[in-house]
Amino acid sequence: MKKINVGVIGCGKIAQTRHLPEYAANELCDVAAVYDLNHERAVQIAQQYQAKAFDSIEDLLAVPTLDAVSVCAANHAHAQITIQALKAGKHVLCEKPMAVTPEDCEAMVKAAEESGKYLMIGHNQRLAKAHVKARELVRSGAIGKVLTFRTTFGHGGPETWSIDPGKNSWFFDKKRAAMGAMADLGVHKTDLIQFLTDSRVTETRAIVTTLDKRDASGNLIGVDDNAICIYTLENGIIGTMTASWTYYAGEDNSTVLYGTEGMMKIYADPQFSIEICTRSGEKVYYDIDRIQTNDNQTSSGVIDAFISAIALGEEPAISGKSALYAMRAVFASIESAEKNQCIRIQQD
């Protein structure tokens, strides 16, 4: 079987930590091409992976033997590069957040449909083993009918994660990032709660604000560092989604589901990845895996899923179209915070 040739556009932290090593570890593909605004960085990466560094995205996409690309650029460039790659006949794996406007997100999905190529978004929380198991348990009725939830993703901020760490990180730049913790972390948990409950967010009441993060000049950053949303799902479930860059004492990546027959805690206990407590007092524990943290990176599963979809000729589970539902909730939450009102979301 011919190997799938992959290009990586943007060679920053997420590419170096996840995309590149996970492609290299997958026997079905080869890293063939890389591009970065910092050409010297691209050259170094190319040498490490026996790939070719390109001077422009256009030149990289013009390679006829290139089958797919990862888009690991800053948020504001996701849509343009993704659409450009799809039109060039490449499958695309785009990092989250999908794009910085609803229109751009929709345009990306349309470009994928018109090109006949796959578009996948890096919502890796769906692939975490405990989340997959939790969904199975919910569907089997392990806690009865889910009524409410709380889901959280918070850590001390992206300034230590960026390839160029510090208070001048592009994550804090309104022009390049457009959005902050809500789109960086909140989109993950928004997508996850829809995955776990098989239901989409149709209403949001949100506070999306900047409480503490400051730039190198001492001014509050131009994007949000905290977001707290009250979501209503289409099947009537309600709950809270919290995203934060100010959890300085440690990371929280937990979800709790409350049902008519019990509750389920996911990644809330350092010893067990799932804990179920029933109305009768019974407790069931599942020791499946540990959630990724910024300080403890494990295989995300995203790259393997992307390559598998291409190899099998099957639409990726985390398709651009499926990612739209979380992005609509993100944009609606930002609108809710700006207008200080509840926002209904049209989910087709």
Same domain membership, residue 65 and residue 19? yes
Question: Which is nearest to 61 in space by CA: 40, 39, 81?
Answer: 81
Domain CATH number, residue 70: 3.40.50.720
Mind listing the pLDDT tens digit for each residue in 232-280?
Answer: 999 999 999 999 999 999 999 999 999 999 999 999 998 899 999 999 9
Q: How far is CA 229 from the centre of its chain?
A: 18
What global pTM score does this model have?
Answer: 0.94
Same domain membership, residue 158 and residue 57? no
Structure confidence at residue 110 as a pLDDT band (50, 70, 90): very high
Query: How confident is the prediction for the chain on average, in pLDDT?
Result: 94
Mind listing the pLDDT tens digit for each residue in 305-329?
Answer: 999 999 999 999 899 999 999 999 9
Same domain membership, residue 209 and residue 68? no
Domain count along the chain: 2
- pLDDT value for 292: 58
Same domain membership, residue 112 and residue 93? yes
Q: Has residue 297 got a pLDDT over 70?
A: no
Structure confidence at residue 296 as a pLDDT band (50, 70, 90): low
Domain span including residue 338: 127-296+326-344
Structure confidence at residue 111 as a pLDDT band (50, 70, 90): very high
Same domain membership, residue 275 and residue 287? yes
Same domain membership, residue 131 and residue 71? no
Same domain membership, residue 139 and residue 16? no
- pLDDT value for 168: 76
Residues 6+ apart with CB under 8 A from 242: 150, 151, 152, 153, 154, 189, 226, 227, 228, 229
Same domain membership, residue 169 and residue 119? no
Domain CATH number, residue 197: 3.30.360.10
Same domain membership, residue 204 and residue 87? no
Bridge partners, residue 169, by sequence: none
Same domain membership, residue 99 and residue 204? no
- Mean pLDDT score, 187-196: 98
